[in-house]
Structure 1
Amino acid sequence: MQPLKLPEFDYQIEDNRIFCIVRKKWVVLTPEEWVRQHFLNLLFAHLGYPKGMTKLEHSLKYFKNQKRSDITILDKDGGVFLLVECKAPSVKLAQKVVSQVAEYNKVLDAKYLAITNGMSHFIWTKVEGRLHQIKEFPFYQS
């Protein structure tokens, strides 16, 4: 797998699988999973996010469609603090990806939304119902 613009960490790879630091089990190592595991490391090891408040592949229903968010971090009250959509490094973070995470947020109502392909990362916060791009990822606020 290619190096990413995310902090290095001591991951475990065996055959074509990587050990998931949240699910505590081996999962298929796809380019998207490579990005997800590195991004989770950023959240936990560098920004103080708790593993216990993290949901992966969180199921949600948008109109009649069943969808799954890549990373969902809950706040202490059970609301969504951060919603992250991960893509493979080869996927351009275009408007389609922004629209995808924004659609998911219509259901989840996160305080922060982010997209990443491991090479580029974008984050927005919601202020008075509108999304505003910010430069830095927030530390977890309990």
Structure 2
Amino acid sequence: MQELNFPKFIFRFKSNENKVSIFDGIRKKFIVLQPEEWVRQHCVHYLIHQKKYPKSLINVEKELKVNGLSKRYDIVVFDTDGSIHLIVECKSFNIKIDQTTFDQIARYNLTLNASYLMVTNGLNHYYCVMDFKQERYQFLEDIPDYKPSGDDN
């Protein structure tokens, strides 16, 4: 698999019927290793090990309704109060991130109302903070590290 622009992480793999699977610690099961899943698992490990987000606040590949249509988000990180802190849209490393990708995550955010957005193909990462008053997002250098609610340090 393609080397990605994330720190090195240790993953669990298994092979079955000529298919390699990777263990997803959030969903607690092995998932067939496709390019987008490779990016998703790196991103989950990045959020847990680098940004210190608790596993218990992370959700992976769940369905949501956007304008009456069923869609699936890649990664959502909740705040302890149940609100959504971050949405991550993962693309395969061979897909270029463009305005269409940002339009997709912005549509999802109309439903989810996350404070932060992240778009990655494993090679390039883009981070945004939402400005709900101006109805736009502002690009950041990185997403913030985890800070428990009420921790103002």
Q: What interval of TM-score do these two structures reach, taking the shorter chain for normalisation? A: over 0.9
Amino acid at match of 2:137: L
Amino acid at match of 1:29: L
65, 69, 73: which one aligns with 1:69? 73
Q: Would you say the 8 A contact 1:11–1:19 is kept in 2?
A: yes
* Deviates most, 107-116 or 12-21: 12-21
Considering only CA atoms, is the larger Rg found in Structure 1 or Structure 2?
Answer: 2
46, 54, 57: which one aligns with 1:50? 54
Amino acid at match of 1:56: V
Q: Would you say the 8 A contact 1:72–1:80 is kept in 2?
A: yes
For residues 108 and 43 of structure 1, what CA distance do their matches in structure 2 show? 19
Q: Would you say the 8 A contact 1:43–1:49 is kept in 2?
A: yes
SS of aligned partner of 2:65: strand
Deviant stretches of 4+, over 3 Å: none
For residues 36 and 51 of structure 1, what CA distance do their matches in structure 2 show? 14
For residues 63 and 35 of structure 1, what CA distance do their matches in structure 2 show? 27
SS of aligned partner of 1:99: helix
Is residue 3 from structure 1 mapped to residue 7 from structure 2 by the alignment?
no
**What 5-or-longer segments of structure 2 have no aligned partner?**
149-153
| Count, aligned residues | 142
With normalisation by structure 2, the TM-score equals: 0.90
| 1:1-142 → structure 2 map (5 Å cutoff) | 1-15=1-15, 16-127=20-131, 128=133, 129-142=135-148
**What 5-or-longer segments of structure 1 have no aligned partner?**
none
- CA offsets per residue over residues 91-124 of structure 1, 9 Å max, x none? 0001111110000000000000110000000010
- CA offsets per residue over residues 58-82 of structure 1, 9 Å max, x none? 2110112101110000001100000
For residues 77 and 60 of structure 2, what CA distance do their matches in structure 1 show? 9
> What's the RMSD between the two structures over aligned residues?
0.9
Amino acid at match of 2:43: F
